[in-house]
């Protein structure tokens, strides 16, 4: 195990402990504190915003560089299918297939 | 499975996605964690981003505390509290069925998610060049399919799009992980104006309310470029 692996394991443990704390705090606090509905909505919305940002950056970028055309095209196809409420597995496989096909045709 | 395959495709050992799957058991944050580290971000940034994504479990727990139970059940029940088990619990009418649905779904995921990650990771090591199979497009597509149902109303959709735009503009200039956190600036529009809360899907609006909201959204659209420029 080298140094960076140890750091990575510690990071995983901290994330796991923190996540458990979030999960455990809800039922624990329920009887004592009432969280306003607005705060609850805001927490949900911030999770959605973070996820949207992750989707956008991983679809378009590879590190600090743009990822080319094949990947965003695949993600876009997946997005359209998801919007049309197609099954999850269809969405994911269609996204990968589109990207793979474009790369096969020489589109990067 | 795709999560495990993607992780290995990004250059990690089989152990990392499986360890995350067992201990964290929250798909989106695990994928995010691996994505940030793979992009060269620090493990600290990955942890902070993962924790932020998982902060939603606190209001989740407040919402379904009855089905989680008490004592040792609360410890295990908290761990299996996630998007899916929450949806199952909320979908039932009486408390008894709600509890049964929550535990069935939660325990199912506790077993299936790590096993799926392991199978995917092993498969990923066999495939080798995952890019030519388009696996790198799978990761954003998986998240998109999970998130889209919650973004169907104009308000949350608009806020999420604004956040995505902020992150995209910032990515070439900032260290990995930060652009995603910066996206939270999109929430300012919601915080600043009392009453401009997130609308739940299916909640009916009064006509006056709707007019008010549309005005507000127009204002925000004009203000958005300023926020992105920051």
Q: What does the pLDDT look like over B72-103, one tens digit per residue?
A: 889 999 999 987 788 778 777 788 898 999 99
B126–chain A nearest CA distance, Å: 17
> Which residues of chain B are within 8 Å of residue A74 when distances are taken between CB atoms?
134, 137, 141
The answer to the question of residue A19 being in a domain is yes
**B136 pLDDT band (50/70/90 cuts)?**
confident
B34–chain A nearest CA distance, Å: 10
ipTM metric: 0.80
Query: Which tokens hold the place of B200?
Result: 């739940």
The answer to the question of residue A24 being in a domain is yes
The answer to the question of residue A7 being in a domain is yes
Q: CA Rg, chain B, in Å?
A: 20
Number of domains in chain A: 1
Residue B206 reports pLDDT greater than 80? no
Asked if B1 reaches chain A (Cβ–Cβ under 8 Å), the answer is no
The answer to the question of residue A60 being in a domain is no
The answer to the question of residue A15 being in a domain is yes
User: Of A30-39, A89-98, B150-159, B181-190, which gets the smallest average pLDDT?
Assistant: A30-39
Residue B223 reports pLDDT greater than 60? no
Residue B218 reports pLDDT greater than 60? no
> Which residues of chain A are within 8 Å of residue B51 when distances are taken between CB atoms?
15, 18-19, 22
**Closest CB from B31, B148, B181 relative to A83:** B148
What DSSP designation does B131 have? G
Asked if B117 reaches chain A (Cβ–Cβ under 8 Å), the answer is no
CB-based contact A57 B168, cutoff 8 Å:
yes
The answer to the question of residue A80 being in a domain is no
* pLDDT tens column, A75-98: 999 999 999 999 988 999 999 999
pLDDT at A7: 92
The answer to the question of residue A82 being in a domain is no
**B57 pLDDT band (50/70/90 cuts)?**
confident
A97–chain B nearest CA distance, Å: 6
Average of per-residue pLDDT values in chain B:
80
The answer to the question of residue A106 being in a domain is no
Residue A31 reports pLDDT greater than 70? no
**Closest CB from A8, A24, A40 relative to B78:** A24
């Amino acid at each position: 195990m080298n140094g960076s692996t140890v750091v990575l394991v510690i990071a995983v443990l901290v994330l796991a402990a923190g996540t458990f704390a979030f999960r455990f705090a809800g039922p624990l606090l329920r009887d004592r504190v009432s969280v306003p509905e607005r705060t609850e909505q805001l927490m949900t919305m911030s999770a959605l915003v973070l996820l949207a940002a992750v989707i956008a950056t991983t679809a378009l970028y590879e590190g600090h560089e743009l990822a080319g055309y094949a990947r965003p095209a695949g993600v876009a196809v997946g997005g359209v299918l998801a919007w049309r409420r197609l099954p999850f597995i269809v969405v994911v496989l269609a996204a990968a297939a589109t990207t793979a096909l474009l790369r096969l045709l020489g589109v990067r | 499975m795709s999560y495990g395959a993607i992780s290995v495709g990004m250059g990690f050992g089989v152990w990392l996605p499986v360890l995350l799957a067992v201990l964290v058991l929250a798909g989106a944050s695990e994928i995010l964690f691996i994505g940030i580290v793979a992009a060269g971000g620090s493990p600290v940034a990955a942890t902070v981003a993962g924790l932020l994504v998982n902060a939603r479990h606190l209001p989740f727990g407040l919402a379904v505390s009855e089905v989680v139970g008490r004592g040792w059940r609360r410890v295990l029940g908290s761990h299996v509290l996630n998007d899916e088990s929450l949806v199952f619990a909320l979908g039932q009418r009486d408390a008894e069925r709600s509890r049964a649905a929550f535990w069935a779904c939660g325990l199912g995921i506790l077993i299936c998610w790590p096993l799926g990650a392991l199978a995917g990771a092993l498969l990923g090591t066999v495939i080798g060049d995952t890019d030519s199979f388009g696996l790198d497009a799978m990761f954003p597509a998986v998240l998109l399919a999970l998130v889209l149902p919650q973004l169907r109303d104009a308000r949350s959709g608009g806020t999420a799009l604004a956040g995505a735009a902020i992150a995209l503009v910032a990515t070439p200039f900032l260290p990995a992980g930060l652009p995603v956190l910066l996206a939270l600036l999109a929430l300012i529009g919601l915080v600043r104006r009392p009453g401009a809360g997130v609308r739940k899907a299916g909640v009916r609006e009064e006509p006056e309310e709707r007019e008010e909201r549309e005005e507000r959204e127009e204002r925000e659209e004009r203000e958005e470029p300023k926020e992105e420029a920051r």
